[in-house]
Each structure stands twice: as structure tokens, then as C-alpha cells.
Amino acid sequence: AAGANRLMMVRVMEELFNQGKLAVADECCTRDYVHHGPQGVDSRGPQGLKDSVLSMRTVFPDLRFIVDEQTTTDDRVALRWTVSGTHSAEWMGVPATGRRITLRGVSTSSVAGGKLSETWANWDVLDALQQLGAAPAMAKGAAAAG
């Protein structure tokens, strides 16, 4: 099952997120799938995930996820990933800037019956806002000095 879960996640990241093939959500998520993001905004079910992907691909039309590391068991998948894209529509209250940003994050997903049942994703929201020029950048070493 771990091998099948690994292949499923490759499809989700490459076909669903990178290529926008929304039907993959129906094939790879349980009916009661829940996605938890760092802002506390959850999407529910395959349709919720499709809506989130559509929104992300509208904001970042050249959205590209790269899986840096993946650990898979029979009922869990953990990813360390890098995502990049050009900010082309309002996101997190920030009007389109045309800036290309790159973020790193991690996600862990539970798998039930060969499908994703729940995902917890985390990435640095402050870093995203700083790259968009919507938050002041901290001086190097300032966090360590505190």
C-alpha cells in the first residue's frame, strides 16, 4: 500500500496542482476529505480541494510544486515541498504584484482505502507576505538577537 500511496501523491502534486486536472481530486480523495492550511482555512471534500486548486492556479497561473522529499507508509504520506509562481491576482488581501515567489512547506496526509482522507499543510505565511512586499522583511539576525 505504501507504494500505491507514493504514486497517488505523485499524481496529486503533478496532475492536480501543477497541471490543473481537477478530476484527480475525485479519484484520490475520500468524500469526507479535509484539508487544513496554516491560515486555519479548511477545504472539505474533493470539490473543496478542486476549488482551492482553481483559486491557487488563478492567483499563480504558472504554479509549480516540486516534491523535495516524500515518506510514505500504508496509511500516511509526508511531503517536504517547494512551490513557486507569479502573483497574478489578489491573494491573502494583497492585490496582484506580478512578483514571482517561492515558498517551502510540509504536509502530512492520512490515507484511508487508498485515498487521501485528511491533510495538514504548513508553510510560512509571513515569508509569502514579505516576498510580495506586503510585510516588512526582518533584518538578518534580528530573530536570533531577541
The per-residue pLDDT for range 13-27, each reduced to its tens digit, is 999 999 999 999 999
Residue type, 101: I
pTM of the predicted structure, to 2 decimals: 0.89
Cα separation of 85 and 74, whole Å? 32
Q: Express each pLDDT in 106-140 by its tens digit.
A: 999 999 999 999 999 999 999 999 999 999 887 66
Q: Express each pLDDT in 30-70 by its tens digit.
A: 999 999 998 876 899 999 999 999 999 999 999 999 999 99
Cα separation of 127 and 102, whole Å? 9
Q: How many CB atoms lie within 10 A of CB 85?
A: 20
Task: Find the length of the chain.
Answer: 146
Residue type, 107: S
| CA-closest candidate to residue 107, choices 130, 136, 73, 82 | 82
Task: Output the pLDDT for position 42.
Answer: 83
Cα separation of 68 and 118, whole Å? 21
Cα separation of 124 and 129, whole Å? 9
